[in-house]
Structure 1
Amino acid sequence: MFGDPPHKLPQQISYLLLPRFSLIGFSSLVDPLRWANTISGKQLYQWRNLAVAGQLVESSDGIAVQVDATINDIEQCQMLVVCAGYDPQKQVQPQLVGWLRRMASHGCLLGAQDTGSYILAAAGLLNNYRATIHWENLQSFAEMFPQVKVVNDIFEIDRNRFSCSGGLSGLDMMLHLVQCQHGQELASAIAEQLIYSQRRSAEHPQRLSLQARLGTTNQKLMTAIKIMRRNLEEPLTIPALAAEVYISDRELERLFRKHLSTTPGTYYRNLRLEQARCLLQQTSRSVTNIAVACGFASSAHFSRSYLSKYGVPPSQDRQA
């Protein structure tokens, strides 16, 4: 189990860094362990960085991190975290998949950070496990891997698998690990050193509340947007939307202009286009299928709207 006390110290954790991995996500996983060793005065944890090939792996920030070994040098791992970021599908190669499956067969505790969950799922190593991934990828991940029990938590631990959704969620996950293995006092001391006063549980939502994202407390406006989000495939007309919120068309228009400096129609269309872009970049669905799924009457209408918002047609954006 993720939180069981290790049989011997130091506990070794391996981080597999894949090209364009998240640097802040990786740092959030490592720094709590450094502080655990420093504060306890013991070598509780030891870590090493791995790559599929080469001595340096470039993060999404363009900063390269030196690794200690490649997967060809490693026959067994006690605990492994796959760290990924953009374009995880490009990293799913036979060499890596075969190596991950061997690690699993040897009893390795397997974890993922950000889109690292995609890599493990593509290798068949998350079948019938609960797992999380960055909120931008949740829908496409669930569609692509129906055998994975996808959850919208900041981190998830299920038997000998664990995952975190990216960003600072790795910090919460590793503080949880330290607390389970070495106690609440040490975990709290680490959080204080990192000036992290609001530790989050696994079930904490990934995204800010709608109220925080919009910067308003107007309940009618937030209700309207929630209804929009629930009806992307079959958009409501603005009069129908206003009726759902129990206000007039004119009042709905006034709320959107006052709080968001836009119209309800434009905001609704942008929500659908944002959803379309996620599906376009993260799935292999056809442009026509995506257009229908996001409430556009035709591919031509969808392409014109997409070009107007993003400056490129859908097909070109997918290629890029």
Structure 2
Amino acid sequence: MINITLLLHINDLLSMFTAKAITKTINVVFYLVPEFSMIGFSALVDPLRQANNVSGETFYRWQVVSATGEAVVASNGMSLIADCAIGQEATPDMLIICAGFNPEKDQCKRLQTWLQQHSRRGVWLGSQDTGSYLLAKSGLLNDHRATIHWENLMAFKEVFRRVEVVDELYEIDGRRFTCSGGLAGLDMMLYLIQCQRGHELSLSVSDELIYSHMREGKAPQRMSSALRLGTNNRKLLTVIGAMEDHLEEPLSIPTLAAMVNVSERELERLFSRHLQQSPGRYYRAKRLQRARALLQQTDRQVVDIAMASGFGSAAHFSRAYRQFFSVAPSQDRQPQLRRA
């Protein structure tokens, strides 16, 4: 005999991030990883609190879960009390991993089994910041689109080849949803409330949080190059964009100059005027920063990283790296996932 209540519950879950009103209370579990991002967690939970407050309804319930049930210390040094340990939580509709710095320290078979069990039950699994690493490590992002904080995007792509990594604020794919960290979780939860409870409530929550512009998921994580560099010079920005697109196989300075129809000398003047350095020096810094991310976030060999960063030999790479960072590549390999 068909259980009508169960069918209605399943239909509600299927519409979690679609434009279909949900009538049931949504149970959300937040799993906190030591050194999680406090601002990232707050950006996820406060919109749910405000949705209940503004509506006068209990649209959302949530629990905070830690590995042992003990309080968890965030990356800012503050502790947050957990409601229970893994396995003691009420059955969730959604489970969100909140992380920040060094999430790989929390990776273990027990956590992996717990996440996989919830996945088999049809729970929507999400992550904030580097929490995507733990979902991917458990095989739960295979063949899904997902995002992570921009500092970890490159290494995330290298390590998890079956994940379609996107450079976006947040990404929703099937029963998986990931956000890049910081205030991106606020945008994602406002979108969730809009889908589940309507546009008017989402706007009211946004107003209560004094958040005047809800960003779309596909919005870029970082501000534009023009804002970051403090210039609107189109030729300079075009050359910088080309550099960033060709870190593994660097373009020559004459080629870059020809792209924007200027002489090499004029390109040198542009970089000197706006960035106080030569194009060659700027380009090398970009390649070395890529190399450092690969060194600290992957287990690739130094020689492979040298080639992936546009250096012709490991010796040349090592000299440039030591000169720039004051440390040899081989001594700079400790895990350094982003501090949130």
Tell me if 1:76 matches 2:91. yes
Structure-2 separation of matches of 1:206 and 1:137: 12
Instruction: List aligned pairs for 1:57-76, cutoff 5 A.
Output: 57-74=72-89, 76=91
RMSD, aligned α-carbons: 1.6
The answer (yes or no) to whether the contact 1:232–1:295 under 8 Å persists in 2 is yes
2:267 is paired with a residue whose SS is helix
Q: Determine if the alignment matches structure 1 residue 100 to structure 2 residue 115.
A: yes
For residue 88 of structure 1, what is the aligned residue in structure 2? 103
Report matched runs for 1:1-320 at 5 Å: 1=14, 2-3=16-17, 5-6=21-22, 8-9=24-25, 11-74=26-89, 76-319=91-334
Q: Distance in 2 between matches of 1:142 and 1:5?
A: 35
What is the match of residue 338 of structure 2? none
Report how far residue 189 of structure 1 moved.
Answer: 0.9
1: CA distance, partners of 2:136 / 2:105: 14
Letter in 2 for 1:8: K
Alignment partner of 1:262: what SS?
A: coil
Shift of 1:135: 1.6
What are structure 1's unaligned runs of at least 5 residues?
A: none
State the 1:196 CA deviation. Answer: 0.8
**Equivalent-residue separation in structure 2 for 1:181 and 1:262 (angstroms):** 51
* Alignment partners' CA distance in 1, 2:238 and 2:225: 10
Q: TM-score, normalised by structure 1?
A: 0.95
Q: Which runs of 5+ in 2 are unaligned?
A: 1-13, 336-340
Report deviation, 1:186: 0.9
Q: 1:211 to 1:8 in 2, by over 3 A?
A: same
| Alignment partners' CA distance in 2, 1:81 and 1:203 | 20
For 2:302, the aligned partner's letter is V
- Between stretches 69-78 and 116-125, larger displacement belongs to 69-78
Relative contact order: is structure 1 or structure 2 higher (C-alpha 8 Å, sep ≥ 6)? 2
Q: Do 1:76 and 1:106's aligned partners in 2 also have CA atoms closer than 8 Å?
A: no
Aligned to 1:50, the other structure's residue is in SS state: strand
CA distance in 1, matches of 2:245, 2:144: 27
Match of 2:11 in 1: none
Q: CA deviation at 1:59?
A: 1.4
The 10-residue stretch of structure 1 (248-257 or 54-63) with the greater mean CA deviation from structure 2: 54-63
Equivalenced residues, count = 319
Residue 295 of structure 1: CA displacement?
1.1
Percent identity of equivalent pairs: 52
Distance of 1:69 and 1:299 partners within structure 2? 49
Give the stretch that moved more between structures: 125-134 or 273-282.
Answer: 125-134
Shift of 1:75: 6.9
